[in-house]
Chains A and B, each alone.
Chain A
């Protein structure tokens, strides 16, 4: 899933303080799971904003809505009838949702309420960690299912650097060395001989290096 973090309330207030009618819009997908932008967080942020404006002696309308997804036309359409009741929307979706909403409601300021940080997994409640950078050419079959692009600090492809110590990365004692994880898993799978294969130099053209990306599937396109 896409993992996001709540933005500091001060930053949100700074961007939103000039408006009189604000809609706080959550998203029921990834940001709900990582507890940054679901219905609960919409409620918390809306209350904080109401309190701020009340303390300022200002009458500001702050309403709440949570859409199933903000990265699909059909769910974004659900606010078409109400959007003109507001001067701005604070979207608690990831950067995709914020932008898609801004594209759809071109004349309405859409402000981000979260910082989108990575694609990752829930290790335990309250702990999310990165697993994928969307490089466009998956090599997990060769690396024991552990990605050196997203999990090695140096994005190394052919084993650890000299900074790997006791299974940890040199940049933090708390960070496992991706190549230690890869070697351990290959050993477990009885495929350690694959570790000896030299990986070709990475083609980054499928990453952002080739410019913004697009996937077109003619077979399912309508």
Chain B
């Protein structure tokens, strides 16, 4: 069953994040994907996450598609203007990629090419409007397309914001839903109680909420994220449990498994497992979470 069918019928979906290489050798990416073939519903291929230059999401998606694996293509307004975005999205549709998500993109200054010029020709919601137009057969100038794409459309949701910022996030989510977004992938979730409160404010009849479960690698990494990454907090007992564990990897995999189980119990739309560089550990996480 395709990701689209599963999301439309409200089934729990399991996504994995697979970064394209910084280079032309896609073999590792494909090998990681094949290792969990049939255990995941689709692979989210980031578009230069954290503004670090890599092969494009479109390239990665085309590679996975060729292998008979279902990808989720990311379109990012930071580096492409409306011509380039539309061109890539049509290319994705033509290549048989069925899933697309629009992401805002990290600031260029945070990446490995800080001297680059950002584009931001379209905002995220304008890009969604553009995709809706393409799916109805017209480009942004109203010109008819020769062949129309049909995408399952998704976007991101910042699960960590609070107060007025959360109100704005939810307002934006409502606009995204009106523009055809059917799923959102959240920022990494570590605090289940806090996430449950957010879930109560979301209309899950209208949108599949897919939290990201990030596989931690060490107590140091967890502490760094907790202290330095805005809107992500990691409970201190979770960090301590990694610190105390004799087998750190095992404990990190257990945490990911526990988070997935906890989220599943909340009847979320699915989970997106992010392993940032530890893609070979994806099977361990799936085993731990008894998925697939």
Contacts and interface: CB of A to CB of B under 8 A. Distances in A.
Interface of A: 201-205, 207-211
A202 B117 CA distance: 9
B284 interface: no
A211 B107 CA distance: 9
Given A203-B115, A204-B117, A209-B109, 4 more contacts: A204-B115, A205-B115, A209-B115, A210-B108
A210 B109 contact: yes
Task: Bin chain B's interface residue count.
Answer: under 10
B114 interface: yes
B265 interface: no
A201 B109 CA distance: 17
A210 B117 CA distance: 8
B20 to A, nearest CB: 23
B118 interface: yes
B104 to A, nearest CB: 14
A211 B109 contact: yes
B116 interface: yes
A208 B114 CA distance: 12
A208 B108 CA distance: 11
Contacts of B115: 201-205, 209
Most chain A CB atoms below 10 A, which of B108, B114, B116, B117? B117
A207 B108 CA distance: 12
Nearest to A206: B115
Contacts of B114: 205, 210
A202 B108 CA distance: 15
A43 B232 CA distance: 55
Most chain B CB atoms below 10 A, which of A201, A204, A211? A204
Interface in B22-77: none
A192 B116 CA distance: 29
5 contacts: A202-B117, A209-B108, A210-B114, A211-B107, A211-B109
Nearest to A208: B118
B116 A204 contact: yes
Interface string B95-116: 0000000000001110000111
A201 B113 CA distance: 12
A19 B216 CA distance: 57
Contacts of B118: 208-209
B109 to A, nearest CB: 6
B106 to A, nearest CB: 12
Interface in B116-152: 116-118
B110 to A, nearest CB: 11
Contacts of A202: 115, 117
A207 B116 CA distance: 10
Contacts of A208: 118
Contacts of A210: 108-109, 114
A19 B37 CA distance: 65
A202 B116 CA distance: 8
7 nearest A-B pairs in the assembled complex, by CB-CB distance: A204-B117, A203-B115, A209-B117, A205-B115, A209-B118, A205-B114, A210-B109
A131 B144 CA distance: 39
A198 to B, nearest CB: 17
Contacts of A207: 117
Contacts of A209: 108-109, 115-118
A53 B114 CA distance: 52
